[in-house]
């Protein structure tokens, strides 16, 4: 078992590295007890312009970025008691979480597939049915999150169609310090974190060790098996920096995460036919990220990045009465990437970034038939990008970027973007951008080769399709082909053209209002279509570029930050999003008047465009709240945070593929959390923070509709910073 072996070696690595470092850090701390502890002081009130890197692949002040961008700092994550990425994103304006093979995030109305998630600028992989589960990612050790809404494919390529979320770690400190925390809460949930950090001017190292575990919970006691299974999740994160000379800086990052999950379930709803199973799952992910920065001259900088990441899952279902292995599924994905980026500063008014790279990807697993040789499918990709920024005056800032992607298994793409920032005064900024985004065909759409043993149907990705059909034909399994498959065009990437128009205003020092209007026009969305019928009556399905959708809406964010007294601060962020996500085919059918609904009493009624509630899983209205009160003298931070979303469709019962009846919607709901943190000094240079919190205070649950929403949960945590 590769995973077991790897997990053992991970644990070995962990203990061999962690224990000496731990002692080192403690010893160093004892020696330098007088060292400045203010760096770990979470009580500080610092208001400075945050710097972000995601929007332009170079350091920029948040307010001076021409595209809609948000930042969430570690202070906000800590005061809200956030442990996982999902906890942080849940209360963020413009982001909705949605359950589909894990908890995925929606940005500007797009499913999780369309948002790129980066760790220090490099892509995180491992998606199930397109969803990157935001609850699997620990936020321990992060300095902040950067969220860019709207397409960024002109800089990042595939998946950055709806937006980019970048998890940024802080550079290791220039002193010795550490932190340890322990938290316990409802559903036997626990979280332990140990962070050790040591550094000098020229080198620095930080190691974060995190264990997150839960006993799971069961919202449907009538059915056998929990709603969410019990699990234990380990994350190790290592970041280091080395200044070789004034001109050469090296960074090395690495992360490993391992999860073991155990559950039970029953198949069949009839008590007499019920068969009970044990469900066991394992997940391993790792990444390694060395980076060299060469300051060629005062105006030229060259960054070379190597990146490797892997994601593996295993699932086993064993029948309880005889232990027989009933189902087994494995998935294995590896990505290696090499990239160079040259930053050029041409005086005060022009800046250019040129870059290029290669990506190799390999997948293996039960559902992916080999396309070349015996190993799983492999693909290679190369790309070039360029960005030019021009500041003709203090009033104007133009940003133009373009990227070319060439891929071995689908048609290449050119994606441009143009953005402008206008600054009529220090307090007003206007932003406009038009850009293209794309998403490469997913693995299943390219490589899947799968026949359902129970249903008898087959699904082929675009590459194994022809061979798969020929094999079935040779076996006499094909009754009828619907068209000449040899004339199939290769699958194209899904692509969009997006417009974002907005701005921000700061009428008073304590008030900041930001608004953005977006429109995303998407074509070539990939869907399945039957391509042949088998002799058993079942179909063979393939993937085709078919659907066209648009998403449009308004994003609003208001920030109020004010000192009540010299030692008390209120910090309130209110967010609102209006969203329409619509399928163009449905829109034209509604305009034609050929779409009907059926009341539960059986009467049919014609639906109009105004009755269209949009694609499933999208709330037309959503709001978010982050409010905190900080008292520096008392060392207290109180936070109230939450979100509300209007009802959204999730299923169709009356045969029109739309949500129109009340029993086809998840009702609107609000989730509110509170947390209070008290900080005090234990002994010199050791600071303790105690936090008490309550998540989902209103105790809203929808057991079958929103399984990721547990009821009210309390927790207590203690953290030591030394």
Partner 1 sequence: MINIKETVSNYRNIRFMMMAFIIFVAACDSADPDPDPIPLETQVAEDVPADPASGRDPTTGRAISNNLFTLYDLDANQVVLSSSVTDPAQRQSDSTGTVWDLGFKSTTIIFNGGSSGPGEASAQILRQSFDEVVEAPAAGYISDGENADCPQVQTPIGPRPGSTLAICTGSDNGWYNYDSNAGLISPIPGRTIVMKTATGNYASLRILSYYRGNPNPPDTNAPSRYYTFEFIIQTDGSRDLRNTVSMK
Binding site for partner 1 (CB under 8 A): 269, 453-456, 482-485, 487-489, 529-531, 544-546, 594-598, 600, 602-606, 651-657, 663
Q: Which residue has the tokens 């990939």?
A: 526
- Which is closer to partner 1, CB of 5 or CB of 487? 487
In the complex, least distance from residue 411 CB atom to partner 1, rounded to whole angstroms: 11
In the complex, least distance from residue 172 CB atom to partner 1, rounded to whole angstroms: 47
In the complex, least distance from residue 599 CB atom to partner 1, rounded to whole angstroms: 9
Q: Is 652 helix (H, G, I), strand (E, B) or coil?
A: coil
Ordered DSSP codes for 17-50? HHHHHHHHHHHHHHHTTTS--GGG-TT-------
In the complex, least distance from residue 481 CB atom to partner 1, rounded to whole angstroms: 10
In the complex, least distance from residue 469 CB atom to partner 1, rounded to whole angstroms: 13
- Which is closer to partner 1, CB of 182 or CB of 224? 224
- Which is closer to partner 1, CB of 267 or CB of 633? 267
Ordered DSSP codes for 337-402? EEEEEEEEEETTTEEEEEEEEEEEEEEEETT---SSSSS--EEEEEEEEEEEEEEEETTEEEEEEE
Q: Are 195 and 205 in contact (CB under 8 A)?
A: no
- Which is closer to partner 1, CB of 32 or CB of 600? 600
Element (H, E) at 416: strand 413-425
In the complex, least distance from residue 660 CB atom to partner 1, rounded to whole angstroms: 9
In the complex, least distance from residue 487 CB atom to partner 1, rounded to whole angstroms: 5
**Strands 428-439 and 494-508, how do they pair?**
antiparallel
Element (H, E) at 471: helix 465-474
Ordered DSSP codes for 688-703? EEEEEEEESTT---BT
Kindly give, in sequence order, each residue whose CB lies less than 8 Å from that of residue 206, ignoring residues fewer than 6 positions away. Answer: 141, 169, 172, 173, 195, 196, 197, 198, 199, 237, 238, 239, 240
Q: How far apart are CA 370 and CA 270, in angstroms?
A: 39
- Which is closer to partner 1, CB of 424 or CB of 455? 455
- Which is closer to partner 1, CB of 36 or CB of 274? 274
Kindly list the distances between the CA atom of residue 680 and the CA atoms of 42, 83, 293, in Å, as whole numbers in the listed order: 11, 22, 40
In the complex, least distance from residue 581 CB atom to partner 1, rounded to whole angstroms: 18
Residue 5 backbone zone (phi > 0: left; psi -120 to 50: alpha; other: beta): alpha
- Which is closer to partner 1, CB of 541 or CB of 722? 541
**Strands 458-460 and 539-565, how do they pair?**
parallel
Which of 46, 84, 88, 58 has its CA nearest to residue 71? 88
> Which residue spans within 588-664 are E strands per DSSP?
596-598, 604-606, 621-631, 636-645, 648-649
In the complex, least distance from residue 177 CB atom to partner 1, rounded to whole angstroms: 50
In the complex, least distance from residue 270 CB atom to partner 1, rounded to whole angstroms: 9
- Which is closer to partner 1, CB of 382 or CB of 708? 708
- Which is closer to partner 1, CB of 547 or CB of 697? 547
Q: How far apart are CA 486 and CA 148, in angstroms?
A: 41
- Which is closer to partner 1, CB of 610 or CB of 655? 655
Q: Which residues pair with 188 in a beta bridge?
A: none
- Token pair of 609 as six digits: 């465009």
SS3 string of 252-269? Answer: EEEEEEEEEEEEEEEECC
- Which is closer to partner 1, CB of 34 or CB of 270? 270
- Which is closer to partner 1, CB of 51 or CB of 546? 546
- Phi, psi of 114, rounded to the nearest 5 degrees: -100, 5
Q: Is 76 helix (H, G, I), strand (E, B) or coil?
A: helix
CA angle at residue 141 from 722 to 90, to 5 degrees? 125
Q: How far apart are CA 26 and CA 20, in angstroms?
A: 10
Q: Which residue has the tokens 């948000």?
A: 70
In the complex, least distance from residue 450 CB atom to partner 1, rounded to whole angstroms: 14
- Which is closer to partner 1, CB of 242 or CB of 457? 457
In the complex, least distance from residue 607 CB atom to partner 1, rounded to whole angstroms: 8
Q: Are 686 and 721 in contact (CB under 8 A)?
A: yes
In the complex, least distance from residue 162 CB atom to partner 1, rounded to whole angstroms: 22
In the complex, least distance from residue 462 CB atom to partner 1, rounded to whole angstroms: 10
In the complex, least distance from residue 479 CB atom to partner 1, rounded to whole angstroms: 12
- Which is closer to partner 1, CB of 388 or CB of 584? 584
- Token pair of 677 as six digits: 């943190």
Distance of CA 660 to the CA centre of its chain: 30
- Which is closer to partner 1, CB of 330 or CB of 598? 598
């Amino acid at each position: 078992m590769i995973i077991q072996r790897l997990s053992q070696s991970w644990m070995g690595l962990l203990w061999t590295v962690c224990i000496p470092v731990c002692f080192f850090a403690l010893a160093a701390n004892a020696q330098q007890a007088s060292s400045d502890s203010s760096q770990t002081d979470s009580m500080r009130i610092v208001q400075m312009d945050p710097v972000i890197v995601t929007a332009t692949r170079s350091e920029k002040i948040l307010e001076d970025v021409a595209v809609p961008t948000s930042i969430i700092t570690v202070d906000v994550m800590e005061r809200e008691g956030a442990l996982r990425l999902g906890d942080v994103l849940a209360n963020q304006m413009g982001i909705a979480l949605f359950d589909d093979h894990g908890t995925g995030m929606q940005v500007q109305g797009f499913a999780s597939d369309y948002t790129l998630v980066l760790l220090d600028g490099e892509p995180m992989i491992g998606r199930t049915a397109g969803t990157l589960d935001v609850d699997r990612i620990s936020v321990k050790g992060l300095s902040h999150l950067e969220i860019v809404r709207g397409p960024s494919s002109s800089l990042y390529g595939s998946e950055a169609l709806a937006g980019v979320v970048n998890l940024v770690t802080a550079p290791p400190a220039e002193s010795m310090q550490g932190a340890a925390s322990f938290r316990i809460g409802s559903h036997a949930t626990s979280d332990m974190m140990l962070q050790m950090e040591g550094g000098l001017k020229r080198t620095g190292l930080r190691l974060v060790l995190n264990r997150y575990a839960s006993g799971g919970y069961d919202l449907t006691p009538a059915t056998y098996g929990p709603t969410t299974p019990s699990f234990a999740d380990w994350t190790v994160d290592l970041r280091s920096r080395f200044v070789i000379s004034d001109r050469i800086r090296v960074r090395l990052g690495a992360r490993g995460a391992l999860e073991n999950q155990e559950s039970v379930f029953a198949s069949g709803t009839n008590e007499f036919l019920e068969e009970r199973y044990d469900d066991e799952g394992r997940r391993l992910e790792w990444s390694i990220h060395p980076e060299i920065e060469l300051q060629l001259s005062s105006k030229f900088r060259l960054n070379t990045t190597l990146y490797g990441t892997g994601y593996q899952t295993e699932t086993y279902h064993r029948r309880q009465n005889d232990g027989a292995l009933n189902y087994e599924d494995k998935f294995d994905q590896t990505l290696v990437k090499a990239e160079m980026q040259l930053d050029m500063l041409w005086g005060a008014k022009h800046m250019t970034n040129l870059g290029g790279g290669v990506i190799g990807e390999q997948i293996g697993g039960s559902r992916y038939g080999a396309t070349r040789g015996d190993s799983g499918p492999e693909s290679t990709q190369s790309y070039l990008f360029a960005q030019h920024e021009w500041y003709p005056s203090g009033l104007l800032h133009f940003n133009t970027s373009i990227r070319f992607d060439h891929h071995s298994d689908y048609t290449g793409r050119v994606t441009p973007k143009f953005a402008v920032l206008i600054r009529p005064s220090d307090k007003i900024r206007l932003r406009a951008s038009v850009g293209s985004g794309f998403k490469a065909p997913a693995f299943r759409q390219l490589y899947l080769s799968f026949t359902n043993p129970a249903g008898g149907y087959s699904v082929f990705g675009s590459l194994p399709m022809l061979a798969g059909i020929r094999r079935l034909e040779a076996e006499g399994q094909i009754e009828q082909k619907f068209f000449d498959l040899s004339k199939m065009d290769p699958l194209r990437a899904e692509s969009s053209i997006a417009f974002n128009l907005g701005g921000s205003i700061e009428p008073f020092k304590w008030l900041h209002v930001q608004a953005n209007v977006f429109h995303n026009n998407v074509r070539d969305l990939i869907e399945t279509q039957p391509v042949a019928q088998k002799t058993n009556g079942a179909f063979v399905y393939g993937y085709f570029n078919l659907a066209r959708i648009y998403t449009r809406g308004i994003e609003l964010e208001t920030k109020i930050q004010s000192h009540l007294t010299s030692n008390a601060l209120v910090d309130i962020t209110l967010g609102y999003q209006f969203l329409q996500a619509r399928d163009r085919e449905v829109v034209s059918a509604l305009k034609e008047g050929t779409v009907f609904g059926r009341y539960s009493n059986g009467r049919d009624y014609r639906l109009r465009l105004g009755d269209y509630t949009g694609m499933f899983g999208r709330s037309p209205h959503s709001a978010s709240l982050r409010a905190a009160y900080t008292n520096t003298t008392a060392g207290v931070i109180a936070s109230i945070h939450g979100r509300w979303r209007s009802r959204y469709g999730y299923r169709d019962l009356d045969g029109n593929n739309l949500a129109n009846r009340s029993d086809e919607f998840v009702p609107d709901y609000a989730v509110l959390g509170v947390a209070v943190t008290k900080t005090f000094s234990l002994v010199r240079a050791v600071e303790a923070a105690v936090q008490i919190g309550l998540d989902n205070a209103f105790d809203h649950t929808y057991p079958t509709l929103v399984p990721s929403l547990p009821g009210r949960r309390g927790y207590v945590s203690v953290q030591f910073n030394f």
